[in-house]
Amino acid sequence: MNNQYFCTYNVKGIHHPIKRKKLLSFLKKDKVQIAFLQETHLIDKEHIKLKRDWVGQVYYSSFSSNSRGVTILIHKAIPFVLSSCKQDPEGRYILVHGTIYGMHITMMNIYAPNPPPPSFWTKVATELEEFRCPITLLGGDCNCCQDDSKDRSRTDRYRNKSSDTSLAKMLDDINLIDIWRVLNPTARDFTFYSNPHKSYSRIDHFFIPPHITGQATSCNIGSIHISDHAPVYLEIAMRCDIEGPRRWRFPSYLLSDKDFKKKMKEEMGLFFDKNDNGDTNPEFLWEAAKACVRGIAISYMARRKKVLLLKQRELEAELKAAEFAHKSSPTRTNLIKVQTVRAALNSVLNEKASRSLFYQRQR
């Protein structure tokens, strides 16, 4: 595994060389490998000057020397190979798609208008969907919150509620989650301080697909000092697949899964009813059938993985409560409860271990 350390930061202008140097030194000290910067206030030739010291690659969208501008800085030690780059002439976003350690990744850095209109989120969603891949990161300054009660220090101030709703709808449409909130479900912390309103808010974010939540090892908010925003840090564990893609093998443990066999029988029945009309080339039909089996298996495993993870968390919480009850009152009833929950949890862990062993043998 290779852990990648990301940072999103509204820097409020780095036109002055001293502030630019201070920022790069700060990011280096914090061991940032990929930085999403907003409000750079740099034109093209000045953005290029950011390629110095630890920075090996620079991707940017400029607007003017006194407003907007976004850039993605990539450490020279990170083997990022670019496939596509989408720049915004308004300096509101930059999107790059490529590979790191053989893994496809899409990164989009945004600086939303204040307040952001629904059309902005529609544009963001459209661009992201074009380059969507298993590891998709959307980061930046959204200029709005999702939950006032948790993300604002004061809720009695004017706000544009439609902006918050539009952001939430966009995230739901493209299936991205606020990873800081997932890792800190009840915490209150903020990334921006408004002097006029004398209030804090959390408007700087990283959004990722739910299926890589387990790879996000940490997401933290820094201090407000270089600009009026705080940096947000995200650490993601990425598998090093530099040896190239592996040949897919059917997971044999699914053959003992009754639900899977029922699902496969139904889906393949529909497949052959639709595609085997007597005139179809048998070779083409066979290749298509294999692709269909693979798709069904992958989809089923993904859903099953989510179910197992949720079940594990529920049982762990239930076991903790049962053990506490038994320690407080060591009755036979409480002991049986502990043993029952423990057995159920072990069953889930055994299934997860079997899945893991299969993939280890496949490598």
Helical H segments across the chain, by residue range: 17-29, 44-48, 118-130, 148-151, 161-174, 179-183, 258-275, 282-328, 332-362
Instruction: Check whether 229 is labelled as a binding-site residue.
Output: yes
Active site residue 300: no
Tell me the two tokens of residue 268: 């393949």
Q: For 13, how many CA atoms within 13 A lie in the half-sphere containing its CB? A: 7
Pick the catalytic residue: 41, 47, 205, 229? 229
Give, in degrees to the nearest 5, the angle at Cα 130 between 142 and 296: 115
151 is in an annotated binding site: no
Q: Is 172 annotated as a binding residue?
A: no
| 143 marked ligand binding residue | yes
Q: Is 14 helix (H, G, I), strand (E, B) or coil?
A: coil
276 is known to lie in a ligand binding site: no
Please indicate whether residue 104 is annotated as part of the active site. no
Nearest-angstrom CA–CA distance, 216 and 205: 14
Tell me the C-alpha distance between 51 and 73, whole Å: 8
Given a contact cutoff of 8 angstroms between Cβ atoms, the answer to whether 138 and 179 are in contact is no
Sign of the C-alpha dihedral computed for residues 169, 174, 178 and 182 taken in this order: positive
Spatial contact of 235 and 3, defined as CB atoms under 8 Å apart? yes
**111 in active site:** yes
Q: How far apart are CA 133 and CA 135, in angstroms?
A: 6
Q: Is 39 annotated as a binding residue?
A: yes
Task: State the catalytic residue, choosing from 93, 111, 200, 233.
Answer: 111
Q: Check 47, 93, 141, 300 and give the catalytic one.
A: 141
Cite the annotated binding site by residue number. Answer: 10, 39, 141, 143, 228-229
**Residues taking part in catalysis:** 111, 141, 229
Cite the annotated binding site for Mg(2+) by residue number. Answer: 10, 39, 141, 143, 228-229
